[in-house]
Each structure stands twice: as structure tokens, then as C-alpha cells.
Chains A and B, each alone.
Chain A
């Protein structure tokens, strides 16, 4: 999973983190188990927060099955929070 620069302070600076699971939800559970501070940045009431997007192989999971979107072995998952800097 690719960690965006705005969230790297919560992942000890890691740009990419390996996570296990067959769906986006399982991957996030694995990730949040190790970096619990990320929870509030990604989830809201156990759903994906409205200011963050998750892409599996370049596709927005919101346009697929949301957190239940299946993730193949070796896929790249990108976390993309809103970023305002200009």
C-alpha cells in the first residue's frame, strides 16, 4: 500500500507498506493494526472518510465495491487524501 506524504508521519516515514488481505477492508485492518494513528485519517464510522480515496490498480474503490473491493495478490493500493497546497 502506498502511503501519501501527508500521512507518513503516522507510518514512521514509510512510503510503502506491505499489507495482507483479500479485500480493501482486510488490508486496512492489517495496516491500522500496526499504525493505529492512521484510523482517523482514513475511516469515519467504519466507512471510508469523505476526504480520502483508495485506488486499487488505478481504480477508485468507491466506483467498485468500496471497502469490500477484492484485491489480488501483489496489487498496488494507493491511499489518496485531499491535499490543498499550492
Chain B
């Protein structure tokens, strides 16, 4: 009966072993081997070599074919110290793999020699405390929270709707918040625009919002665009890539620009609008549901737009609608629940009622339909600046 030591020696004698330096050369070279980590799951989760796939030693025979169907491709195996991987390499040779290699010294030597490793991602103690109420929700949890910290949401406007939306998204730990707004904080804003305050009067809204958000949650990176959205700058602003757009614009030209761009850039838009006691909220998700132009193909003519100066809005109304927008943006970023795609929620603060309307994709839509007639940005004449500010 051979001892463990004899068995190991026997295995190592029959296979090829490489040290960490040589392994790195093989991985960097042409015809790179498939890198397989044969340790147990808990070892894998504590750190691994970048690019590795995990097939624990116990499952090797049954699972290797799934990850390495081509038996002529070299396979580089590693474990913690190079013993389990030696046995694994011998097994693969017996299974007909032409070139199974074991990493001598294993992950321990690899790490000690200073070669790169992927450390597991976790929130760490401080973030685990900050986001503990999210971590308690199974639909979010640590994985979801990490996803939020990686997500990028662009807010159109830091006004009535953008204020609550930006605050809740920041508090929730959305990692990157873009804010577009060209205006400065005005006294008439403070009745509802809660991201700003009396001591930020006269300051650009992007600066004021950034300060409030950074004070609320230093995890959030604020990307400020102190400019008015136009056909000239919209592609540049969308270029870095955003997961969700929250549209809280205060005018039709911007609404249509945002819509057309979102279809062409394939970014979902959480749309909200408010007037006096009523608000509307829905999600336009390109490909999945209607876009704004399916709903309203053209903006109303200038002389028919609701009188902006006379409009007015109940201060709390954007709080309700902007918060629903934040909830929808979080759902989209997390990929959970049923977003308001194809459904328009109408809220009447005066009657205290919500109503839901079905929205359908229009096959004749000028932008997202089967034969689009609008293929370039349209700069509609500004006829409604002032409302919502």
C-alpha cells in the first residue's frame, strides 16, 4: 500500500509542474492555458488568480469537461500549495487532456511572489453598517449593494424632481451620480428643491447639489454638468455610459432630446413631471416598452403650452414623484421588481389618488418605431423656461 507521500511523489513525477513566474509567462503568452482553481469554495472566495475558473478537486472529473471541452488546450491547475493540483493534473491526463500543468507552490507561492490576485469584493465593516437596512432585504443584500455602488445614474435637472431623487439615490449608495443643470439657486426654488438651502442662494445648482450629496454620502461620486442640455452636448454627456437616466427636466425641448438620445444610446429613462397638484411617472425602457414619443409624438405648439409662470406646484408634489422616480431607478439598477415600463402612474395630491394608465409601444413611433422618421436630434424652440424652477 503506498503512503500519501509516495502517491504524491508518483503524481508529481508523471506531470508537468511550473513555478509562479513560468505560470505567469504561460498565461501572458499566445495559446494561454485555461487556468483552473481546484480548491474548495471557501478558499476560492477569499482570493484567486485573475482569470481563473473554479472547479473544486472533488468535482473535477464530473465538471472539467464543462469548462474545458477542448482536450488539446493546455490546462494550468492550482490549489493552495501545489499538491491537490498535482493530483488534479494527473487525473486530467488520465481523462485525455494532452497538456495538464500544475502550479508548484500553488496560490500561496503565487501570492507571496507578488503576482496579481483578485480579492473578493465585500462591503467592509463601515459600509455594511451604513447600508445595513439594505443588506437585510433579500432582494438587495450585499451583492445588490455592491451593484448599486457600481451603478451610474444621470439626473436631468437638480430642481423639484431632481432634488429628492438625487438625495435618495445618494443615500442608497448609487456610486456615480451625474447632474445636469445650468441654473443657479433662486429663492423661489427653496419651497420644494430640498437638495438646496438658503445658504446656497445664487450658487450654481450643480455645486449646491454636490455639496449636499457629498455631505450625505461620501461613497457617491458626483459628476456635474453645469450646462443646458442641447443637441450639441447630449452625446458627449451620455458618452461615458449611464445605467439609468432620471428625467426631471422643466421644459419640452429637453424632454424630447432626452427621449431621442435614450433610444439611440439604449438607456432607460425614469420620467417624471409635475404641475400644481398632479404628477406623472413612468419608465421608458428602449426595446422593452414605449418611448416618450410613442406617448406624445410631438410637443405642443408654443402658444398652447401651459402657461409656465402661472403654473405653480405644491411643494411636496415633486417629493412624491421624485421619490417614486428614485425607487424606479434603484429597481432598474438592481434588476429587481416590475419597473413602470408601459404603465403611467398619475398622482393627484388633492384627491389623494393614484391612477395607472397602460402605455403601448407605437409601431409607427417616429423614433423607436419600425420605420423611424426622426434620426437626428431636434432642437425645439424654447417656450417653457421657467416652470419648475
Where the two chains meet, the residues of A that have a C-beta atom closer than 8 Å to any C-beta of B are 4-6, 15, 40-41, 49-53, 55, 58-60, 62-63, 78, 80-86
Name the one of A49, A53, A78, A86 contacting B157, with C-beta atoms under 8 angstroms.
A86
Interface residue SS majority, chain A: mixed
Q: Can you name 26 A-B pairs with beta carbons within 8 Å?
A: A5-B278, A6-B275, A6-B306, A15-B351, A40-B304, A52-B296, A58-B356, A59-B358, A60-B360, A78-B355, A80-B344, A80-B346, A81-B300, A82-B296, A83-B274, A84-B299, A84-B305, A84-B387, A85-B160, A85-B273, A85-B274, A85-B387, A86-B157, A86-B159, A86-B250, A86-B273
Asked if A85 contacts B357 (CB within 8 A), the reply is: no
| Residues on B with beta carbons closer than 8 Å to the beta carbon of A82 | 252, 295-296, 299-300
* Alpha-carbon gap, A59 to B358, bound state (A): 6
Other A-B contacts than A4-B278, A82-B295, A85-B313, 7 sampled, CB-CB below 8 A, are A49-B300, A51-B298, A81-B306, A83-B273, A85-B273, A85-B275, A86-B250
Chain A residues within 8 Å of B351, by CB: 15
**Most A Cβ at <10 Å: residue of B159, B248, B311, B356:** B311
A-contacting residues, B237-259, CB 8 Å = 247-252, 255
* A60-B359, A62-B362 known; A86-B277 Cβ under 8 A: no
A84 contacts which chain B residues (CB < 8 A)? 249-252, 255, 273, 299, 305, 384, 387-388
- In the complex, whether B208 has a CB less than 8 A from a CB of chain A is no
- Take A41-B304, A50-B298, A51-B296 as given contacts and tell me if A86 and B252 are in contact as well, using a CB distance cutoff of 8 Å: no
CB distance B296 to A53 under 8 Å?
Answer: yes
> Which residues from B are CB-within-8-Å of A5?
275-278
Count residues of chain B with CB under 8 A from any CB of chain A: 48
Q: How many Å from the CB of A15 to the closest CB on chain B?
A: 8
Which residue from chain B places its CB closest to the CB of A76 in the assembled complex? B355
In the docked arrangement, what's the CA distance between A53 and B296, Å? Answer: 8
Question: Does A63 contact B278, Cβ atoms closer than 8 Å?
Answer: no
Contact A83 B298 (CB under 8 A): no
Are B161 and A86 closer than 8 Å at their CB atoms? yes
Q: Which residues of B contact A81 (CB under 8 A)?
A: 300, 306
B175: Cβ under 8 A from any A Cβ: no
B318 at the interface (CB under 8 A from A): yes
CB contacts (< 8 Å) of B357 on chain A: these are 55, 58-60, 78, 80
Residues in B with CB closer than 8 Å to A86 are 156-157, 159-162, 247-250, 272-274, 318, 388
